[in-house]
Amino acid sequence: MIECQQITKTYETGGVAAQVLKGITFSINDGEFVAIMGPSGSGKSTLMHILGALDKPTSGEYVLDGKQMAELSDDELADIRKNKIGFVFQSFNLLSRTTVLRNVMLPLVYAGIPKEEREERARAALKNTGLEETHYHHRSNQLSGGQMQRVAIARALVNNPSMILADEPTGNLDTKTGEIVLATFQSLNREQHHTIILITHERDVAEHADRIIHIRDGHIVEDAKNTHKRTADLQNV
């Protein structure tokens, strides 16, 4: 599904070049749950932007579902982001005065999906996150942080993307609520077989994934199966 070969990224500011990624190589298969972990300044956010087709590497190859991303036009990359990648962000990015259902349907409106199908798919995506149906017609600003993040996950799922890219999804949540969100990702991976890439700086968050890629100073310093996996049950968190 994902192949990264010798990815580098260099930024220039005031004539000074700073290399943020320094030859990153790894692959991710369909259905994997992978955490990319590193401290602030490690390069993980830069790598996330490349994986999400929001930026291109300075050198090296990024192949997603058999396509060389560097060869695609801006419009083609936009289609990739719309159809193949579901984004979940730390800040939720929901429309506060809009209902849960309409927030989740929004990507389908842009995709030109008929109204009846939009609602059907939005309800299915919300059900997959475990959010109670009684919340579907609440405005998003009436929800708890954990509920809002589960709505954001449903919105990421609604176009049936090839992968979900979650950037510090528990960063604004307390520990207990964060466990609910991480349990949601585990359930989606285990039961729905979604490929999930989790970006985090916290070891205890990364340990909910099956594999951890550890980045430091623009290099991969460790890429291994997680032998200390943490699990959380949505029903008991």
pLDDT tens digits, one per residue of 56-110: 999 999 999 999 999 999 999 999 998 899 999 988 999 999 999 999 999 998 8
Question: Exposure string (b/e) for 62-77, b if CB count within 10 Å is 16 or more?
Answer: bebeeeebeebeeeeb
For residue 16, name the pLDDT band (cuts at 50, 70, 90).
Answer: very high
Q: What is the C-alpha to C-alpha distance for residues 229 and 44, in angstroms, rounded to an integer?
A: 21
With left for phi above 0 and alpha for psi between -120 and 50, is residue 13 left, alpha or beta? beta
Q: Which of 224, 211, 217, 165 is nearest to 40 (CA)?
A: 217
CATH of 30-55+85-225, one of 3.40.50.300, 3.30.420.40, 3.30.300.30, 3.30.565.10: 3.40.50.300
Q: Which helix (H) or strand (E) holds 39?
A: none
Q: What is the C-alpha to C-alpha distance for residues 9 and 86, in angstroms, rounded to an integer?
A: 23
pLDDT of 236 above 80 = no
% the chain with pLDDT above 70: 97
| Dihedral sign for Cα atoms in the order 168, 172, 175, 177 | negative
Residue 237's pLDDT is what?
A: 44
pTM check: above 0.85: yes
For residue 231, name the pLDDT band (cuts at 50, 70, 90).
Answer: confident
Q: Which amino acid is at 223?
A: D
